[in-house]
Structure 1
Amino acid sequence: MVPEKIYVPIYKKILRSKSLRLKVLSILDFFPDKIMIKIQYFMYFGRVADIKQPKRFSEKLQWYKLNYRDPLMTKCVDKVCVRDFVRERGLSDILTTEYAVYHSAEDIEFEALPEKFVAKYNNGAQRNLIVRSKKDIHKADLVNKLTSWMSAPLSKLGREWSYYDVVGKILVEEYLEPEEDGDLTDYKFFCFNGEPMFLYVLKDRFLNDGLKLGVYDTQFNKLDVYRAGIKKLHQGLAKPKDFERMLDVVRKLAVGFPHVRVDLYNIDGRIVFGELTFYDGSGYISYEPDEFDFKVGSMFKLP
């Protein structure tokens, strides 16, 4: 089998080191948002973003970052505060068990925690420590990693304003056991004016072959669409148990926002809240075929 070719954005070809890319973005923090967003968009796609009259989803997300500022969005991107938002929407049953919230990693009562848990920094993506067994990790290592996340200077990066005023905390919560196939499937619903229109299904995040992504409609039919830069999920999947309840949950969480992505898990029929995000991939997303960017853009009615 020929290895799958993964799309590489222009900026990654120029600046191959991720740490170097982050340093460059930090240095350019003083640039106005509108200018920096146009630079970043061009560096990713090799084309100029039309923000005045956007038609693509990737362009409309840039408009959204620049022009739509509902204070509730800051609450919803905070992994601690969003739990209150979920409760306010009458959905406390989909929340994971919360063990503790800390303002400093030094305060973590390691001995009091269960054998398995997840420790999350509440601001930003990919800042989760999954502990499957306490014997496999030292408290000092846990504290050092979380402290490094909390002490890192706040960079504007993708110019996603809703993260700027989040007060740093550490959430320690329940570890979700994988499904029978050893995986934990992630369902990401794209909603526009409170209505889910399509979803990503992510599989194999923790398995040897690596993360794969498929795109489905809200009847759970697999679409011939792929997110560039992530391995393709080729096989069709069975509709999850209580899928209609998932859609109902999504609608309750999405109402009131022009656009939000609602992430859920479904573990043998148990629906579990993941997170809310307003700027998938910071808007720097490429689809195969490219026409899907326009199709999703037509779903997104800018306020």
Structure 2
Amino acid sequence: MPHIRHPYSFNEKVLFRKFIKGDYDCYAALSDKILVRDYISHKIGEEYLIPLLHTTDNPETLFELETLKDTVIKPNHGSGMVKVFVEEPDFVEKHQLIERCGEWLTKDYSHEAREIHYRYIKPQIMVEQRVGDGKSTAIDYKFHMFNKQDGHFEYVLQVVFNRSDNQPLSMLFYVNNLDSCFYRRFDTAGLDISHNRAALEKALALSKKLASDFDYVRVDWYISQGDVYFGELTFTPGAGLMPVLKHGLDEMMGKMWLQDGQSATQAERQESAPSTAQKKQ
């Protein structure tokens, strides 16, 4: 069972944020995929935003758009609900899309895993320009940013492949560097991030600016032709139930997170808690 009131692993600290101490109003405003765009424009500039083509609370208005080719359609109030069009959908596909969007709008995402802040987001449908090379799904670059409260940050970069391709999600994890991969999940042989090194260094610098107001936040990015585009801010990744943090990564990330409201006793317990690697030894 997780130690929710006295957390030391990353997942436990996410649960602590969910149930014990969380600024739900702030999380809601910045988890709203539409409202967060104003925050991004103010903090780092609107040039990092993916072009937004349409927003609506009436899915029928999607019929009025000139084209849906090279677009991403999703709601603003949750995760895992997305439809990508590389080519123009036909009449049947558009009707199926309208029906699906209607279902999304009625969904209270806070019921999925009790991430309370999603309850306070007004559901809307958004249509974005698709980012990518036209051949494969865009790769997600997720920076887990840990504010050390002295002007410095630690971070874990989680790179996600095969999203929306009906395949198991392959992942790479980098800890406090962009050169040496700490952990590979599933078939990632031959995959690395070296070809996007300059763009990722820029994304990291921007992530520090966006994370400066929080003890922890995950900042997601996409990269296309060397340009970086903001994805979203996430305050409770995986709802505190992320099974992919293997090889001691859950404990390691927990130690990186100096959580607001954590007592000295809890911090001492965290430091003294043996890591998975130590237990194996």
TM-score band (shorter)?
0.7 to 0.9
- 2:61 is aligned with 1:104: no
1:260 correspondence with 2:214: no
- Given candidates 63, 88, 100, the residue that maps to 1:145 is 100
Q: Equivalents in 2 of 1:160, 1:207: separation in Å?
A: 26
In structure 2, relative to structure 1, the CA distance for the partners of 1:287 and 1:128 (3 Å cut) is closer
Q: Give me the TM-score of the superposition, normalised by structure 1.
A: 0.76
Matches of 1:141 and 1:168, distance apart in 2: 19
Preserved contact between residue 222 and residue 236 of structure 1 (Cα < 8 Å): no
Contact 1:200 1:214 in 2 (8 A): yes
Shift of residue 120, structure 1, vs aligned partner:
1.1
The CA distance in 1 between the partners of 2:109 and 2:182, in whole Å, is 38
Is 1:60 aligned with 2:13?
Answer: yes
CA distance in 1, matches of 2:15, 2:253: 14
Determine if contact 1:110/1:139 at 8 Å carries over to the other structure: no
The equivalent residue for 2:146 is: 192
Is the Cα contact below 8 Å between 1:78 and 1:122 reproduced in 2?
Answer: yes
Shift in alpha-carbon separation, 1:288–1:151, aligned structure 2, 3 A: closer
- C-alpha distance 56-232 of structure 1, shift in aligned 2 (>3 A): farther
Q: Which amino acid aligns with 1:231?
A: F
Residues 214, 222 of structure 1: 8 Å contact kept: no
Structure 2 gap ranges (5+): 261-281
Equivalent residue pairs, number: 252
Point out the more displaced range, 234-243 or 65-74: 234-243
Post-superposition offset of 1:114:
4.8
Q: Structure 2 vs 1, CA of residues 168 and 293 (structure 1 numbering), >3 Å: closer, same or farther?
A: same
- Please identify, of 273-282 and 193-202, the stretch whose mean Cα deviation from structure 2 is larger: 193-202
Q: Structure 1 unaligned runs (5+)? A: 1-47
Q: 2:252 aligns to what?
A: 295
Q: List per-residue Cα deviations over 1:81-119 (Å, max 9, x = no partner).
A: 111111111321111111111021122244423532111
Distance 1:236 1:135 in 2: 32
1:134-171: CA deviation from partner (whole Å, max 9, x where unpaired): 24453321110100111235552322111111001111
CA RMSD of aligned residues (A): 2.3
The residue matched to 1:293 in structure 2 has which SS? helix
Percent identical across equivalent pairs? 25
Q: TM-score, normalised by structure 2?
A: 0.81
Q: Is the 8 A contact 2:74 2:81 kept in 1?
A: yes
Aligned counterpart for 2:25 among listed residues 68, 71, 81: 71
CA distance in 1, matches of 2:162, 2:231: 17
